[in-house]
Each structure stands twice: as C-alpha cells, then as structure tokens.
C-alpha cells in the first residue's frame, strides 16, 4: 500500500472517526486552510479587477474607453488615444479650416493611436509617402480619472505637445511622443496630429484658401483641451503648450494668434521661435507655390476657386508628392509650405508678421521658456557630408555664393542685389580662407546653427525681455548622450555634437524606436529625471526650480539683463547658470541683419494678393 504523506496520515484517521485531533491541531489546520483560501480569493479578485476595469472618460461628445499604462518608474496611469478633435478634412473639407468633431453614441474605443497625416520625411530622405488625410486626432494621458475616488485626485497641470518636423513630417504618435517619461509626474500629457505640407499649409492668399490650416488644427485642439480636459482630471486654466522645432515656432505663434490667445497660460519653444528664417512664407510667394502645385497636377492656376476645386479631386499622395519640385539644393529651400499672413477676416490665424507682433508687444504676456541645443546645425550638416560620398559639401564649397541664399534661408527676405555680399561676409566670418570640408565640419555646423536657429532665439529672448513682464527661462542643452539624432540626419558614422532634437530623448521615449540598438545609460536616465522635472515644474507653477532637489540641483533664474542668462544643461553634475551665449557669432548676425531684412529688422511686408475676392 502507498505510503501516505504526513498531513494525509494525520487527517485520514480523523475522517474515519477512529482518531481524534487535538484542539491545537484543529486550529492550525483551520488557519492554514483559511490563509490558503484568502490568498486564492485575493488572487482571483485582483486578476478579475485588472481584467474588468476599463478606464472611461465622459467628455462632451461621448464616452471614451482607454487603457491602463505604466510609466518608466512603474507608475500606473490611463491613456486615451485616437480621440477625434475635428471632422476628417477630406473631400469638400480639404483646404478648409477644421470643423469640431461630431458626437457619437455608446462607448468609443480610445486604445490605439490614430493614423498619421499624409507626409514624406524630407530630413531622412524618405521615398515613400505615408499616412492618410483622416488624421485629426489627439492622445490624452492622465494620472487619475474623475469618479474613481483615488488618493490625490485633483486638477492636474496640462502639457499639450506639438511635434516638430518642419510642418512636413511628424505626428503626435505615442511610438515617438509617448507618456512613459513625463507621466512619472502628476501631469496630463496631450499630443496632437495636425495637417502637414500643402494639405495643411497651401494658401491662395485670398479668402478662397487663406492658409494656415495646420495651425488652425492646432488651435482647434487647444480649444478642445480647454473644453474637455477637466473630464480627464486636468485644469483648463493651467495649460502649457510645448513643442520642438516647427512645434516650438507654433507655440510662439499661438501667443500672437487671436484663435488661441487666452486658452493657455504658459509656453515652451524648443529649438524654434517666430523669428526663425524658415518660420513664415512672405506674402506673394505662397500664392505662387499654390499655382505651382496646380500646374504640376494639371489644374487651373489663375482662378483661386477653380484651382482649389480641382486640387480637391486629386489624390493626397500626389499633392504631397509635389514637394520635390520645390527643392534646389538637396531638400533646401527647407519647408516650401509654411504659415502665412492672411487677409483680415474673422477666422484668420495670423493677421500680421509675428515678428512685427513681437517687436510691438502684441503677444500674450505669459511665462515662456525657450532654448537651443549646442549643435542645432546638425539637422542639416550630416547629410552634406554623409550622402553621395560628400558631394553636397563639395558643391557648397565650390558654389557658396550662389547656394548660400537658398540653403541658409535668406533669399526670401534679402534684396537680390545683396545676395553676393551677404554670402561673402558669411563665408569670411566662419571659414576665412579655409575650404568647406571635413577639417571645418564644426564651423559648418555653427554656420547652420546660427543662421537657422540661434540668432532667432537670441533676438526673440531680447524682445521678450524688453517688452513683456512675464518671466523668460532660457536654456542651452549641451548633454551628449548615448545616441544622437545626427544618426538619422544623413551620417551615422561620425560625431556631430549635440544635434537638433537631441533633447527629445529625455522627454519622450523616442529612442526606443529610433535607436533600438543603443540602450539608455545610467547618465541618460539621470538626464531624463532632470529634464522631465524641470519641464513638469514649469507646467505646474511657471517656475522650473521652485526648490533645490536631486532632480533640480541648480536654481534656474529667469533672464533679467541683456547678457541673457541661461541654464546650461550638461551632464547631471554639470548643470549651471551662465550668460552671453556665443557673443561674437550672434553679434555678426546682428550686424548682418540690415542687409537681409527691412522694416527695423523684420521681414518685408508685401501686401497679400487678393484679386480673387
């Protein structure tokens, strides 16, 4: 007969009634069984709760079902993705301002990102055109939801992200701009898709298609946040807009636009301000570009109504595909379709050059943060050296006087008779008698950095200091982490410093997609802690360093003198205040500006063409 286990043997005689168990033994057995049953029941309840709980948000248009997500440090939060904030801009709504999204019945799934807007990435020399026109959606990620009786529920600060990409590429997609890092903090993150390229920025410079529809998409998203964010636990009166590159310019533009003024309280412009030379299409030129698109696609070009009606019959990929016709030197002139100055009408996003608005104090006087990376020009330079065995840098060296106005983006505002002298002055300042080759790589980076980004940032901060009372926080991001965006801008084999967009790796998990072979280092993770804390504190209170902590080790002081004080974000042990960033280089551009611009340092103000009214 098989031997019985000790426990079985002790129970069997009792069951048979032939042996008694002592009271102490009975109590021990009962305690053991109760403990096991409680453990089993608890496991079932936890599993059932996790499976059964469906995060729901009840907004004006209907009910949304989201997902439970986890942050970098393991914190649970709720994500709602693919929320419509406007009607699909298709058919007769193509080239029209956004219309508010329609309501729905029942519960709408908000568990996945929506499609991205139709686009082609010029910066990575992408061949394929991707995305669709039905793309006006946003994502909301929140630490808590109303109605769950969770501890510390309250009105959270809200951060609304506008992606960069030169108004030609990008999306608010969670693969790149996900909540994993920022949602370690008590903040609500909103990321937004908006129309790109000619689908978002074509303008006939009259009331048929005034333009700026991509910017109006953003304004509609801001309005949506103002009306709905309380239903996610957010404070509609504590909204911070933030964006990088074209997204940074967009934030600055919203500070001047009547469509969005008053709907947000703080702004962060990373590597882009309203004064960047690529930020605006001068009046007269936008119409010519619309006519060129029409010619390429076989549409009438002289009558605005016929032009737009015809373009509405064309495939979106064919409209986006006209981008190559505007490129002269590789992808330069960068960004053929940009924001424009509109005729004066009730729905206008921009009624005057934002540079004039800024210099005359016609911006929202709100707390503003802006800054640059130490090698912004790396957006352009790796491609010059890395593509086609360096043929582009050789071409630029050989034909600098003719190519400089196009690639350094001053041909639209500089009088043509000044092209030669301006080009000569730039070459002399940065290179002297040296060639443009590998030996002067960092001089080429500095030239593009200053021309495309740095001077505009410096000038904008000076204007804010002079004309507005709200604090300005200026930063210089000089941390070189394990990976750099220079890898995807044309040359993965060389080091180009701290690239344009490199700071994004420490706000969002973009590296998980772009740099899968390069894990985050311990120091990278410390910079994530620091950068997300600074940005979160700014959104929460308007002060990035309300107190000194391990994650905010240095007091970030606002700009208060013409020396333009800034926070240098190096490695985690090298974060310090400094001033007078690039004095010689920026003085050179300041002295050069009268030859490039008119009307007290701002761009030419041509009267918009309105012959179709």
- Per-position DSSP letters for 270-290, written without gaps between them: ES--TTSTTS-BPTTHHHHHH
Please state, in angstroms and rounded to a whole number, the distance separating the CA atoms of residues 499 and 496: 7
Judge whether residue 362 has pLDDT over 90: yes
Q: How many alpha carbons lie under 13 Å from residue 377 in its C-beta half-sphere?
A: 20
Kindly state the average pLDDT of the residues 105-132. 96
| Known catalytic membership, residue 376 | yes
Q: How far apart are CA 102 and CA 252, in angstroms?
A: 29
- Closest C-alpha among 63, 233, 46 to residue 148: 233
- Cβ pair 379, 486 in contact under 8 A: no
pLDDT band, very low/low/confident/very high, at 195 (cuts 50, 70, 90): very high
| 3-state DSSP assignment of residue 203 | coil
State the pLDDT at residue 113.
98
**pLDDT of the residue at 4:** 36
Q: 133, 205, 244, 376: which one is catalytic?
A: 376
Residue pLDDT, tens place only, 551-606: 999 999 999 999 999 999 999 999 999 999 999 999 999 999 999 986 444 444 43
User: What is the longest distance spanned by two Cα atoms in the chain?
Assistant: 116
Mean pLDDT of 340-349: 96
* Residue 245 appears among annotated catalytic residues: yes
C-alpha angle 285/596/394, rounded to 5°? 85
Q: Is the pLDDT of residue 609 over 60?
A: no
Domains of the chain: 57-370 (3.40.50.1820), 373-398+434-587 (3.40.50.1820)
> Would the pLDDT of 248 be above 70?
yes
Which of 500, 503, 565, 612 is catalytic? The answer is: 500
Give the pLDDT of residue 146: 80
Report percent pLDDT > 90 for the chain: 85
* pTM, full prediction: 0.90
Neighbours of 257 (CB within 10 A): 26
pLDDT digits (tens, 9 = 90+) for 254-275: 999 999 999 999 999 999 999 9
Which listed residue (174, 245, 257, 449) is catalytic? 245
pLDDT tens track for 165-189: 999 999 999 989 999 999 999 999 9
For the cut 60, the answer to whether the pLDDT of residue 44 exceeds it is no
Q: Does the active-site annotation cover 449?
A: no
User: Tell me: the pLDDT tens digits for 368-378?
Assistant: 999 999 999 99
Q: In angstroms, rounded to a whole number, what is the distance separating the alpha carbons of residues 100 and 223?
A: 10
Mean pLDDT of the chain: 91
Of residues 271 and 31, more confidently modeled: 271
Confidence of residue 334 (pLDDT cuts 50, 70, 90): confident
Q: How many other C-beta atoms are found inside a 10 Å radius of the C-beta of residue 118?
A: 24
């Amino acid at each position: 007969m098989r031997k019985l286990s000790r426990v079985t043997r002790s129970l069997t005689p009792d069951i048979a009634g032939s042996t008694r168990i002592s009271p102490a033994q009975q109590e021990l057995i009962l305690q053991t069984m109760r403990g096991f049953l409680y453990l089993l029941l608890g496991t079932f309840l936890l599993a059932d709760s996790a499976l059964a709980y469906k995060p729901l948000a009840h907004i004006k248009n209907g009910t949304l079902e989201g997902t439970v997500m986890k942050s970098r440090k393991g914190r649970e939060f709720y994500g709602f993705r693919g929320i419509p904030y406007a009607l699909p801009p298709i058919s007769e709504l193509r080239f029209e301002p956004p219309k508010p999204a329609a309501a729905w019945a029942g519960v709408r799934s908000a568990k996945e990102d929506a499609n991205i807007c139709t686009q082609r990435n010029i910066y990575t020399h992408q061949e394929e055109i991707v995305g669709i026109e039905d793309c006006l959606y946003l994502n909301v990620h929140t630490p808590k939801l109303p109605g769950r009786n969770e501890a510390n529920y309250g009105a959270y600060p809200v951060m609304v992200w506008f992606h960069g990409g030169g108004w030609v590429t990008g999306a608010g997609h969670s693969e790149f701009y996900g909540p994993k890092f920022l949602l370690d903090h008590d903040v609500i993150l909103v990321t937004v898709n908006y129309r790109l390229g000619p689908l978002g920025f074509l303008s006939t410079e009259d009331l048929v298609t005034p333009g700026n529809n991509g910017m109006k998409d953003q304004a509609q998203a801001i309005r949506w946040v103002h009306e709905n964010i309380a239903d996610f636990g957010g404070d509609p009166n504590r909204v911070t807009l933030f964006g990088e590159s074209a997204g940074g310019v967009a934030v600055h533009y919203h500070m001047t636009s009547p469509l969005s003024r008053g709907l947000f309280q703080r702004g962060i412009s990373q590597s882009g301000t309203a004064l960047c030379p690529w930020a605006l299409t001068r009046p007269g030129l936008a119409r010519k570009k619309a006519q060129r698109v029409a010619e390429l696609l076989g549409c009438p070009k002289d009558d605005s109504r016929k032009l737009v009606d015809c373009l509405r019959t064309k495939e979106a990929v064919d409209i986006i595909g006209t981008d190559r016709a505007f490129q002269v030197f590789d992808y330069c002139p960068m960004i053929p379709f940009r924001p424009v100055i509109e005729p004066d009408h009730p729905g206008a996003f921009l009624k005057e050059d934002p540079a004039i608005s800024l210099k005359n104090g016609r911006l929202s006087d709100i707390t503003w943060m802006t800054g640059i990376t130490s090698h912004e020009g790396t957006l352009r330079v790796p491609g010059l050296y890395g593509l086609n065995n360096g043929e582009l840098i050789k071409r630029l060296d050989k034909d600098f006087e003719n190519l400089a106005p196009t690639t350094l983006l001053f041909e639209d505002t500089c009088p043509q008779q000044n092209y030669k002298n301006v080009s000569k002055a730039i070459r002399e300042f940065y290179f002297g008698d040296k060639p443009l080759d590998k030996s002067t790589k960092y001089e080429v980076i500095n030239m593009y950095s200053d021309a495309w980004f740095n001077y505009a940032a410096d000038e904008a901060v000076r204007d804010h200091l002079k004309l507005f009372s709200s604090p300005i926080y200026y930063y210089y991001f000089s941390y070189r982490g394990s990976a750099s965006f220079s890898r995807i801008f044309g040359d993965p084999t060389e080091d180009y410093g701290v690239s344009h967009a490199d700071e994004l790796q420490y706000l969002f998990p973009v590296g998980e997609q772009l740099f899968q072979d390069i894990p985050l280092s311990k120091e990278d993770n410390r910079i994530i802690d620091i950068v997300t804390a600074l940005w979160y504190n700014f959104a929460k209170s308007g002060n990035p360093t309300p107190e000194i902590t391990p994650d905010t080790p240095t007091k970030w002081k606002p700009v208060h003198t013409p020396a333009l004080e800034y926070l240098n974000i190096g490695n985690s042990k090298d974060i310090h205040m400094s001033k007078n960033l690039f004095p010689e280089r920026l003085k050179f551009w300041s002295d050069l500006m009268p030859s490039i611009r008119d009307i007290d340092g701002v761009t030419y103000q041509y009267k918009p063409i309105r012959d179709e009214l």
